[in-house]
Amino acid sequence: MRINGDIFSVADSYDTLFVDMYGVLFDGAEFYNGTLATLKKLKDMGKKIVLLSNTSQLSQNAMRGYAEKGMKCGIHYDCFITAGELLHDILLHRKDIFSNQIGKEFCTLKCLFMGNMDAFKNTGISMADMYETADLVYVASPRAHYGSVRVDNLYDENGDKVEIEEFLKKDWKKLKDNQGHRGLAEFSLQLEKLAALRKTLFLSNPDVFAPFRIDNGKYLVATQGAIGFYYEKFFGGKVLYFGKPFKEIFDFAQKVSLSEKDKILMVGDTLWTDVLGAHNAGMDSALVMTGISGEFFRKMPGKPIAEKLEVLSSQIGAKLSYNPQNLKNPTYVLRHFYADPK
């Protein structure tokens, strides 16, 4: 493992960069200063830039949203691959994945949609209108009755602060935020009903939380992966995941990019999705000290980076990872992706 400054310190060894969005290029509200110029320079150097995101949006929808913020395909990147796009491709071309997992022919499956249905257009899947008649349940971005659920300001029944890496291990019915909201309790009650009916969940964003703008602030909110993780671990439910760290999205991205694995570098901000997924796919990786990892690193001022990384892996990542025993160090650690603007 080597510790470097920005992406230009390691890019020469690779033809293609797989780059995560949130925490690497985008902070949940805006691009990090210097990001667009860095992407353009990499493109001008002949690097192939593949944006690899765990968003459940289809690629075209994500591209339109970021284009409105100034990031353009062909200028700043070559292609944009999302977990939602992967799921859509599987529903179109690899339906046997679902048939094998559920034990029924795809054409007979009924799905209850808890969120956006874009990934299911023209796939032939049927809609269920209640839990009882569904063969499987699709989980999109989780929202409580009041909106997105923050996980960076949770308290238990004794009023003690719950650290973010601990919230997946707690009884959600006993947690509330500093405003008294009990969004996780709402989710838990829904999951309890689904578990009693032995329903299979599937989702296209394995991230357990992500930065998000609420009013004028940026906070960490629960995302689809938290629902899946909790359903599996707390209720013993069955969940199908599509996205990082699972190998299918890396294989899909490699196929689209037409690149060899030893010439691809995955750049991300988490050990348990970006780095783990790259390792399992046989690719090098770079962990940036911004985004999610940056949140944890800032809690360890004064410690050497190698020591921070060890804590991130053994004490934090192990509680947030689907495969904690397989967590690996990245090939590189970067202070940030972007070059400092001149």
- Give pLDDT tens digits for 231-264: 999 999 999 999 999 999 999 999 999 999 999 9
Beta strands 126-127; 110-114: pairing state: parallel
Confidence class for position 77, pLDDT limits 50, 70, 90: very high
Looking at the chain, the whole-number percentage of residues with pLDDT higher than 90 is 76
Q: Residue range 98-108: average pLDDT?
A: 87
Q: Do domains 2-85+245-334 and 104-241 have the same CATH topology?
A: yes
Residue 50 or 295, more confident: 50
Whether residue 249 contacts residue 277, with contact meaning beta carbons closer than 8 Å, is answered with yes
Looking at the chain, the whole-number percentage of residues with pLDDT higher than 70 is 99
- Judged against a pLDDT cut of 70, whether residue 146 lies above it is answered with yes
Domain boundaries, the chain: 2-85+245-334, 104-241
Confidence class for position 330, pLDDT limits 50, 70, 90: very high
Q: What is the pLDDT of residue 2?
A: 82
For residue 145, give the amino acid letter: H
Q: What is the pLDDT of residue 196?
A: 97
Query: Which of 85-99, 139-153, 224-238, 316-330 comes out lowest in average pLDDT?
Result: 316-330
The pTM assigned to this predicted structure is: 0.93
- Judged against a pLDDT cut of 60, whether residue 65 lies above it is answered with yes
DSSP 140-178: -S--BTTB--BSSSEE-TTS-EE-GGGGGGS-GGG-EET
Q: Residue range 314-320: average pLDDT?
A: 88
Q: What is the pLDDT of residues 19-60, one digit of tens each?
A: 999 999 999 889 999 999 999 999 999 999 999 999 999 999
Confidence class for position 315, pLDDT limits 50, 70, 90: confident
Give the DSSP H/E element, type plus range, for residue 227.
Answer: helix 224-235
**Domain 104-241: CATH architecture, name and number where available:** 3-Layer(aba) Sandwich (3.40)
Give the DSSP H/E element, type plus range, for residue 232.
Answer: helix 224-235
The most confident of the ranges 3-12, 65-74, 107-116 is 65-74
The backbone torsions φ and ψ at residue 157, rounded to the nearest 5 degrees and listed phi first, read -65, -15
The three-point CA angle 238-244-246 to 5° equals: 55
Q: What is the pLDDT of residue 215?
A: 79
* 281 DSSP assignment: T
Q: In 175-222, which ranges are continuous DSSP H helix?
A: 183-196
Q: What is the pLDDT of residue 341?
A: 53
- Judged against a pLDDT cut of 70, whether residue 191 lies above it is answered with yes
For residue 306, give the amino acid letter: A
Q: What is the pLDDT of residue 206?
A: 96
CATH of 2-85+245-334, one of 3.30.160.20, 3.40.50.1000, 3.40.190.10, 3.40.50.970: 3.40.50.1000
Report, in this order, helix, strand and coil percent for the chain, each rounded to 5. 40, 20, 40
> What's the chain's average pLDDT?
93
Whether residue 187 contacts residue 144, with contact meaning beta carbons closer than 8 Å, is answered with yes
Q: Residue range 319-331: average pLDDT?
A: 88
